[in-house]
Amino acid sequence: MTVSSAELRTIYEQQTRVLRRHPALGRSSAQASVKLVTDLACEARRANRVTRVDLPVDEGGRDSAPTPGDLIRAGLGACLAMGYRMWAARRDVELLAVEVDVTCELDVRGQLGIADDVPIGWQRVLFEARLTSTAPTTDVRSVVECANRLSPMLANLSPAIERVHTLTILRPEPSLSTLDKETP
């Protein structure tokens, strides 16, 4: 089932109305239960969902599942892509396609404890968004800026991590049927 932009807009308008009247309904929590199952592989459970997590062989794992870093990058990229779609729907800006690449730069000496002057974890994250739209560039940029500013996953990143966002707005190619109609 595909959710239209109008349906998304209605969902968020209804949520906004309810939460303005009843702010306590906006408070929530989420939990995952994680169990080490073999070597360094884990299973994370949330409700009836299980996500396996492992490390590559050269880090002591079996490379049987995504790494914790893979999952965080995927979560960041998915949150941004979903945010672009939701805010575009809420602002009545047409998006035909959304792609986000997330690249993290780090120095593993920090997490290995062999260089006190090297931060632990990511030092810089590059977000490359490619959105296909027929909407004016200013409208698309406004959607992206809003979604980036209000992204819960971006908010969870340490402020010490440098963030670099790039946006490419792609225009759909005219369909052959459109070209045929316009050709005298």
Residue 1: the pLDDT is: 61
Backbone phi, psi, residue 17, to 5°: -60, -45
With contact defined as beta carbons under 8 Å apart, do 79 and 153 qualify? yes
- Domains of the chain: which residue ranges? 31-66, 67-182
Which of 121, 120, 144 minimizes the C-alpha distance to 131? 144
Residue 166: the pLDDT is: 97
The pTM assigned to this predicted structure is: 0.87
Confidence of residue 2 (pLDDT cuts 50, 70, 90): confident
Provide mean pLDDT across the span 19-34.
Answer: 94
The CATH number assigned to the domain with range 67-182 reads 3.30.300.20
Cβ neighbours of residue 29 under 8 Å, at least 6 residues apart? Answer: none
Cβ neighbours of residue 170 under 8 Å, at least 6 residues apart? Answer: 97, 130, 131, 132, 133
